């Protein structure tokens, strides 16, 4: 069975996590979110977590070597035996090239890159109202997906807080980092297309979660039909 590897790209707050979780479930793939893996390492106080914490809080990127090690470990898990949806990775050209090497060694390649586009003003608005449950990490948006009347997590009753990297100054830095370091990754996949067989599709992420999901599904159906 050929493993399938999809990449969801987009600025922070574009909705990659939400869409990646849906896709992974529908396609029975694992979701590899480097942001989630790093947050888990920070929460567990591992040496990686200790090194990553301050970098994450500033909005800068953790080193490519550490990220590629994390991803390689995930790729070989049983839960990823059918392939994976990458969320928040690759974020630099080095990571994209490193991922290509990791997959090539396994006889695979990236099949499709989906770019979720959202204007910066909307990103800032979304992230400033984003809250996360301190216990189960469920995400809320104070206007669009609010918690219960008591202001607590509807899933587990935990308290909500703003993620440190959703503070306004850090959001601006994350957008800058996205433009400088991650945008070239999209160009890389678009230009490599002929050689690597990787398709790149852009979707408008400023619509509802369901609309964006069905747009992504349509794009992937085309890919599926061409396989
Ligand atoms: P995210 O939840 O994907 O927005 O990631 C939160 C933070 O974790 C980022 O701002 C980075 O500091 C770090 N991070 C997550 N993924 C990566 C990656 N692929 N490369 C480098 N740093 C990352």
Q: What is the pLDDT of residues 83-135, one digit of tens each?
A: 999 999 999 999 999 999 999 999 999 999 999 999 999 999 999 999 999 99
Rounded CA gap, 153 and 131, in Å?
10
* Active-site residue identified among 16, 22, 31, 131: 16
User: Is the Cβ–Cβ distance between 111 and 198 less than 8 Å?
Assistant: yes
Closest C-alpha to ligand 1, atom 5: 35
- pLDDT for 191 equals 85
CB under 8 Å to 181, separation ≥6 — which residues? 61, 91, 92, 93
The most distant pair of C-alpha atoms in the chain lies apart, rounded to whole Å, by 54
Rounded CA gap, 24 and 21, in Å?
5
Please give all residues whose beta carbon lies within 6 A of any atom in ligand 1, as ranges: 12, 34-35, 38, 55-56, 59-62, 67, 88-89, 91, 95, 165, 174
- pLDDT for 213 equals 96
Residue from 8, 12, 35 to probe ligand 1 pocket by mutation (most atoms less than 8 Å from CB): 35
Positive or negative: CA dihedral 4, 22, 61, 45? negative
User: Is the Cβ–Cβ distance between 125 and 212 less than 8 Å?
Assistant: no
For the question of residue 77 being annotated catalytic, the response is no
List pLDDT tens digits, range 173-185: 999 999 999 999 9
Tens place of pLDDT per residue across the chain (227 aa): 689 999 999 999 999 999 999 999 999 999 999 999 999 999 999 999 999 999 999 999 999 999 999 999 999 999 999 999 999 999 999 999 999 999 999 999 999 999 999 999 999 999 999 999 999 988 899 988 899 999 999 999 999 999 888 998 899 999 999 999 999 999 999 887 555 567 899 999 999 999 999 999 999 887 777 76
The CA radius of gyration of the chain, in Å to the nearest whole number, is 17
37 C-alpha vs ligand 1 centroid, how far in Å? 9
| Exposure class string for 71-90: b at 16+ Cβ within 10 A, else e | beebbeeeebeebbbbbbbb
Shortest-distance atom of ligand 1 to CA 87:
3
* Active-site residue identified among 4, 22, 126, 174: 174
User: Is the Cβ–Cβ distance between 87 and 8 less than 8 Å?
Assistant: yes
């Amino acid at each position: 069975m050929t493993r399938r590897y999809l990449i969801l790209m987009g600025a922070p707050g574009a909705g990659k996590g939400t869409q990646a979780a849906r896709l992974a479930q529908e396609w029975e793939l694992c979701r590899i979110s480097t942001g989630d893996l790093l947050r888990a390492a920070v929460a567990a106080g591992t040496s990686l977590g200790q090194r990553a914490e301050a970098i994450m809080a500033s909005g800068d990127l953790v080193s490519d070597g550490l990220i590629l090690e994390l991803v390689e470990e995930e790729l070989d898990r049983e839960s990823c035996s059918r392939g994976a949806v990458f969320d928040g990775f690759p974020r630099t050209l080095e990571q994209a090239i490193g991922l290509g090497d990791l997959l090539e060694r396994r006889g695979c390649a990236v099949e499709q890159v989906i770019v979720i586009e959202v204007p910066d003003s909307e990103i800032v608005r979304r992230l400033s109202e984003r809250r996360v449950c301190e216990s189960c990490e469920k995400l809320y948006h104070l206007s669009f997906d609010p918690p219960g009347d008591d202001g607590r997590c509807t899933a587990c009753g935990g308290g909500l807080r703003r993620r440190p990297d959703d503070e306004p100054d850090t959001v601006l830095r994350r957008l800058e980092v996205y433009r400088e370091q991650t945008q070239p990754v999209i160009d890389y996949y678009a230009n490599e297309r002929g050689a690597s067989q990787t398709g790149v599709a852009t979707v408008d992420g400023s619509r509802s979660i369901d609309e964006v999901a069905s747009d992504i599904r349509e794009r992937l159906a085309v890919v599926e039909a061409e396989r």
